[in-house]
Structure 1
Amino acid sequence: MTTRWLIRLEILLSIGLVLGCLAALAGLAMTAGMAFFGTPVGVGIPLRLFDVPVEGMAAAGATVGDATAEVVVRPEGAAPLAALLYLLLWGPGTATWLLCLLTLVRALHRARSGDRALFSAVTAGHLRRLGWILIAGSAVSAVLGMIAEAILSSMLLTESHPFYLPSSALLGSVVAGFAALGVSEIVRRGLTLLEEVEATI
């Protein structure tokens, strides 16, 4: 009864992991097609535009400030360099989340065997690994994404910027990584105290 929710959560995350792997493979196939055969209709590279014209959009008594928009650009013909940069734009973030899901599935699979398996040094290790995957993966994704987006914008748009801020989702991932590290430390110290109490009995 205690582990029923763990089993359901493991099944749900396992399904998410399988679907994520299939989506990543589809993304790789699409990126390879972009490199060697051209970009299919309806598919493209998402890029950000700044200082979008907003004349005539504001109602009476209101003004519109700086506007930012996202456009999908489709390179014409085979574009190996654009495909490589596009892979750097989405690949590291996708790999980070797939590794996170795999770590969580492994941790839940072990935790199903009982409460002592849930609160164990192995679980603390999984949480520590999850935290570092989120922190390091988000940092790498942010750096590579900023570089790739800047180069792609200079290649595919008439106006580009030398620096693009990473998305707020990456900042949230870093915070979640530090939270996982904190929980792993709590579990580790709790196990140490439990071992000391058991040793004195």
Structure 2
Amino acid sequence: MPGERTKYAWRTQVLAERARVGAAVHAAEAAALAAAAGLLAGADEVVCAYVPIRGEPGDLRMLDALRVAGATVLLPVTGEPGPLCWARYGGADSLRKARFGLLEPTAPSLPPETVSEAATILVPALAVDRRGVRLGRGAGYYDRTLGAARADTRLIAVVRDAELVDRLPEEAHDRRMGWALTPGGGLDELGCDLGVSPE
């Protein structure tokens, strides 16, 4: 469609807007996300998540709320480009600094196919649209990883309220999300293909 914004333009805009979010607003949104995350998983469920960094919505309270609910929380471990490996999160004291400014668990690394054990996967995103199209940072780690997830696994993009939008550009390799988790709206089911009549 003429005039449609590129992924680069979307990334530039979202990153600039995140950079303007004050500490108090970020903390309040993180608290809301933690409260919502505590309702996402039951006892003994496996949840793949991540540690928010560089202005991403949320903080460690989101992960701790999942653990309090009884979930086993797995976090990505950096390695060579390709599907992500995972390690178990055991609280803030179990994390160490890693590449790219990330925090990773000190627990033993688990292979990429461990993602198939997850009932829920929280996926970092710069934005997600109502159809489930996710805008990431462009490295493709999650697109390569999520192919091993079960068909019934809930894929949840975690974004700020303004980052849940009507339509984003999509490429053939993009893996659609089933839900968005936002501070103001909580868990929101996606999948409405705007502008396309149902069959």
TM-score range for the pair, normalised by the shorter chain length: under 0.3
TM-score of the superposition, structure 2-length normalised?
A: 0.24
Q: Return the structure number with greater relative CO, CA threshold 8 A, min gap 6.
A: 1
TM-score of the superposition, structure 1-length normalised?
A: 0.24
Give the structure with the larger strand fraction.
2
